[in-house]
Structure 1
Amino acid sequence: MRIVMVCPSYPPRELTCGVGDYTRCLAEELARGGDDVTVVTSTGYAGPRTGVVRVLPVLGDGAEPRRWWDAGDVLDVQYAPDLYRGRSRITRIPLLARFARGGPSVVVTFHTLLDGSLGARLAVPWLLATAAHSISANEEVSAMIRRRLPGLAKRCTEIPIGSNIATAPGAGSSRREERARLALPADAPILVHFGLVYPGKGLETLFEAFAVLRQSVRDARLLIVGDTRPEERGYRAGLESLAERAAIASAVTWAGNRPGDEVSRLLQTADLYVVPYDDGATIRRGSLIAGLAHGLPVVSTRSSLASAYLRDGDNVALVPPRDARALAAKLAELLGAPAEAARLGRGARALAERFAWPVIAAETRRVFARVRERR
C-alpha cells in the first residue's frame, strides 16, 4: 500500500516531540512491513530525503496538497492542535481529497484534541466528519470524542501509541557499567524518571517524596533522564532549588537529553521507574509506555479516567496524584520487596506487548485497507 503521513514535526531533531517520534516509529514499521511510505513535513527539515521512508519537506512553502498527495493511496494526517497553528489549510485536505478524482483516502490520527483555542474547537469536529476515518492514539482522546461528539465516535478507532525508546540489545548486562559511568553506586537503590522536563509531570511531588524516602533509605539515588526545552529552563532551575532546599541535590543526577540507545541503557540501571503525573497515568504518555516496554516496575499516579490497560498492582503501582507521602511509602514498600517489584516489572512487559510497533502497524494497516476498499 502507498501511504503518505503528514507531520510538521518529523522527525524531532532539534526539540523532542512525541508526535514526531510516533510518526517516525510508525512510518519505519509500516515500511518494514512492505508498504511504500512517504512523510510530508515542514520545509525546515534538513535530514535525508530517501531511505526506508521518503521525506517531502513541503509544509510551509504554500504547496497545494494535490502536489504531494498523489504519492499515496491513503493519507494519514497526524493531528495535535499546536502542530498546525498558521496551517489552517490542513483542515481542507479530507474534503478536497474526497471530491478529487483519484485522490487518496484521508485518515486523521488524533493525539490530542483541544488546546483552548477556537481553531482547535472548530477543526476537530470538522476533521472527524470529513475524514474517511480517524484514529485515536489514546484513551483520553477516545473518551473526549464519545463525550463531546458522540455522533462521530463510530468514525474513530483507538490504536494506542508505542514506546519511542527501543530496548537496547544487551542493555541489562551493562547495568553496572552504566552506573559506574554516571558515578552511581553499584548496589544503591536507584529511581529513574524519564521524559521532557515541564510542569505537570509531577517532579515536585517526586522530589518531595524522594526527600522522605531518603530518611529511611539513605543510599537511594534519583536519575532524571530527559530534555528541557528553552522555555522550561526556569522551571528546571526551580526544581534544582527545590532539591537544594530538601537536601537531596547530591543524590539527584540530571542525565539530560540522550540518544535512544543511551536512554534505554540508563533506564535499565534503575530499580524503580517513577512517573507521578499531576493528572494521573494514561496511555497517552509516551514516557509511561517506555517504562512498561523496558519491563521496569512502574510507579505512577491514579487518573480520573478509568483505563482498560493499566491495572494497579498488576502491571503498574498507582498512588494518588500530588501526594508525596503516599508516593514515598509506595517506593519504600517496593524497594523492600524486590520479588513484588519484579512481578510488577513482568506485568509491565506483558502489557507493553500490546503497544509494540508491529502490533500498532498491523492495526493501522487494517484501518487503511478498510477505508481504501470503501473508496
Structure 2
Amino acid sequence: MHITFVSGSYRPDQDGVADYLANLRSHLSQRHAASTVLTTHDSALAVADPAVQGALAHWGLPQLLPLVQTILATPTDILHIQHAAGSYRFKRPVFLLPVLLRQAGYRRPIVTTAHEYGWWEWQPKWFPAGWLERVKEWGQKRTWWDREDGFLLTGSDAIITTNQNITGIMQERLPTLRDRMVTVPIAANLTVAPVDRAMARSQLRHERSWPQEAQVVAFFGFLHPVKGLTYLLQGFRQVRDRHPQARLLLIGGVETLSLNGQDAENFWQQVQTQIRDLHLTDFVHCTGYVEAETASRYLSGSDLGVLPFTPGISLKSGSLLAMLAHRLPTIATRTAETDAVLCDRRIIAPVVPRSGDAVAEAISTLLNNPAEQERLAAAGHEFVQAFTWEGITDRHCDIYQQLLER
C-alpha cells in the first residue's frame, strides 16, 4: 500500500501536526505501507527525506494547479490530507483541492484528517453577512460544502478527527456524512526513553547544578503566549517562597509556524525578562529545543508536570499525553472536555486558566502530598495506555483497507 499525504508544512521540529504525521508515517512503514508527503518547497528543503516533496511555493490559490498536477502524476493508493489552519498559514484554497482533483479525473480515495474544527469560519468583510450565511447553509444542507472547510470534508471519502468534540460538531452540520467520520485520538508526541528514573533525576539535577533534593516542576511543549507561561512564572514565584528546593524546567523551543522569526525572538526575550524580574534566574531553566530522547529523560527526572494553557487543556495535547506517559503527576487548566474526561476521573490536578495564584496553590499542594503525587502518576499512566501509536496505526490501516475494498 502507498499513501500520499498532503500537509501544509512538514517541519516536525516546529509544528505539532507535522510531528504527528512523522510519527504516523514511521509506524505505517512498519506495516509495509510506504508514504510520500507533498508540501511546500521550503518544508521539503528543510528535511532530509527524499519521500518529502515540494509541490508548491505557498498555499495561495494559483499554486493549487501544480499541486493537482503533482498528485495526478504520483502513483498512490490513497490520498490523505492533513489539515490544521496554522499549518497552511491560515490560507483556505486547500478547501478546493478535492473538487479540483475530481474535475481533473482523480478517482483514488481521498481521506482528510481534521486536527481542529469548529472555530474558523470564512467571514470576509466585503461579502454581506446575511447573504453569506444563506449561501453557507444552502450548500451545507445539500452536502455540497460545509460552512467552515468548503469542499474539504464533503469531497473526502473518509473523515478522521482527533477528538470527539470535533466529531460532534461535524455530525451536527453534516449529518448525512456521519458514516464517513471516525474519531482517532492522538497519542503522546514523545516516546518514553528507556532510562532508570532515579538516574534520570540525578543526572538532571547534576546538569543544572541543582541540589539532589530539588523538587523539579516541568513544562513541556513549544513556548507560546497561549501556553500560560506568564501565569506559570508568577505562580512559581510564590511556590519558591514556600518550597525553597523547588525548581522550574521549561522544556521546548519557541520557534514554530505560528511564532517565528522576530516574533519568536521577542517572546523568548519576554520570558527571560520576566524570569529576571521575578528573581528566578537561578531557579528556572529554559532548555530551548532539545531532541526527543533528551526531553524524555528530563521528564523522567522531574517530579511534577504543569500545563497552564490559557484556552485550557484538551486530549489534543500531545504534551499532556507525554507527561502522563512519563508517570508525571500533572497540573493542567480545566475545560468542559477535561471536566468530563480527566477531572471527574481524577487523572490530572485541574486549575482555572489565567491565574498565577491557582497555579501556585496546585503546585504547593502536590509538593506537600507525595501520596497524591503517586496516585496521579499511576492514574495518568493507566489512562494514557489507550492512546498509542500502534492503535492509531491500526485504525488508519483499517480505514485505508475499507476504502480500497469499496
Same-fold call, TM > 0.5?
A: yes
Moved more, 143-152 or 339-348: 143-152
CA contact (8 A) 2:96 2:150 kept: no
Taking the aligned partners of 1:307 and 1:133, their CA distance within structure 2 comes to 30
Aligned length: 369
Q: Does the 8 Å CA contact 1:128/1:155 hold for their aligned counterparts?
A: no
Deviation at 1:101, TM superposition (A): 5.6
**Could you tell me which residue of structure 2 aligns to residue 63 of structure 1?**
66
Q: Deviations over 1:116-174 (max 9, x none)?
A: 65499856142111111111123443344345555545532111112222111225233
Structure 1 counterpart of 2:157: 132
Confirm whether residue 185 of structure 1 aligns to residue 211 of structure 2. Answer: yes
**1:300 Cα offset (Å):** 0.3
Greater CA drift, 118-127 or 191-200 = 118-127
Partner letter of residue 222 of structure 1? Answer: L
Aligned equivalents of 2:237, 2:91: Cα separation in 1: 46
Residue correspondence of structure 1 range 60-139 to structure 2 within 5 A: 60=57, 63-69=66-72, 70-85=74-89, 90-98=94-102, 103-113=107-117, 114-115=119-120, 117-118=122-123, 124-139=149-164
Q: Secondary structure at the match of 1:327?
A: helix
| Residue number in structure 1 paired with 2:192 | 167
1:280-295 matched pairs, under 5 angstroms: 280-295=312-327
Matches within 5 A, 1:249-288: 249-288=281-320
Q: Does the 8 A contact of 1:203 with 1:276 survive in 2?
A: yes
* CA contact 1:171–1:264 (8 Å) conserved in 2: no
TM-score under structure 1 length normalisation: 0.89
Amino acid at match of 1:133: A
Q: 1:366 to 1:99 in 2, by over 3 A?
A: farther
Which residue is equivalent to 2:246? 220
Question: 1:310 deviation in Å?
Answer: 2.2
Give me the whole-angstrom Cα distance separating, in 2, the residues matched to 1:187 and 1:156: 50
1:351-370 counterparts in 2 under 5 A?
Answer: 351-370=383-402
Residues 9 and 88, structure 2, Cα contact 8 Å, conserved in 1: no
Question: Does the Cα contact within 8 Å between 1:136 and 1:156 map onto a contact in 2?
Answer: yes
**Which aligned segments of 4 or more residues in structure 1 are displaced greater than 6 angstroms?**
none
Q: Does 1:243 align with 2:260?
A: no
Q: Is 1:192–1:274's contact at 8 Å kept on the other side of the alignment?
A: yes
CA contact (8 A) 1:201 1:275 kept: yes
Contact 2:121-2:148 at 8 Å conserved across structures: no
Contact conserved, 2:3 with 2:78, CA < 8 A, in 1?
Answer: yes
Whole-Å separation in 2 of the counterparts to 1:99 and 1:139: 32
Partners in 2 of 1:204 and 1:88 — Cα distance? 32
Comparing 241-250 with 31-40, which one deviates more in the overlay?
A: 241-250
Superimposed CA distance per residue, residues 42-94 of structure 1 (whole angstroms, 9 cap, x where no aligned partner) = 222133344xxx33222337524343354321111010123335975533332
Sort the Cα spacing of 1:245 and 1:79 in 2 relative to 1 into closer, same or farther, 3 A: same
Query: 1:194-247 CA distances to partner (integer Å, 9 max, x unpaired)?
Result: 111111111122112212212211110000111113313323333333333333
Deviations 1:237-279 (A, max 9, x none): 3333333333333211111111111111111221000001112
1:198 and 2:224 matched: yes
Q: Could you tell me which runs of 5 or more consecutive residues in structure 1 were left unpaired when the two chains were aligned.
A: none
Kindly indicate whether the alpha-carbon contact (under 8 Å) linking 2:327 and 2:380 is maintained by their aligned counterparts in 1: yes
Q: How many angstroms apart in 1 are the aligned matches of 2:380 and 2:178?
A: 29
Partners in 1 of 2:393 and 2:340 — Cα distance?
Answer: 20
Single out whichever of 299-308 and 338-347 deviates more from structure 2. 299-308
Question: Identity, % of aligned pairs?
Answer: 28
Residue number in structure 1 paired with 2:20:
22
Give the whole-Å Cα distance in 2 for the aligned partners of 1:148 and 1:232: 37
- Aligned-partner Cα distance in 1 for 2:121–2:157: 26
3-state secondary structure, aligned to 1:63: helix
Tell which deviates more after alignment, 263-272 or 109-118: 109-118
Tell me which of 39, 49, 67 is aligned to 1:41.
Answer: 39
Given that residues 5 and 38 in structure 1 are in contact (C-alpha distance below 8 angstroms), is that contact kept between their aligned partners in structure 2?
yes
Counterpart of 1:242 in structure 2: which amino acid? Answer: Q
User: Match of 1:7?
Assistant: 7
Counterparts of 1:243 and 1:64, CA distance in 2: 46
Q: Name the SS of the counterpart of 2:112 in structure 1.
A: strand
Task: Label 1:312 to 1:322 Cα distance change in 2 as closer, same or farther (>3 A).
Answer: farther
In angstroms, what is the RMSD of aligned CA positions? 2.6
Change (3 A) 1:25 1:171: farther
1:96 Cα shift?
4.4
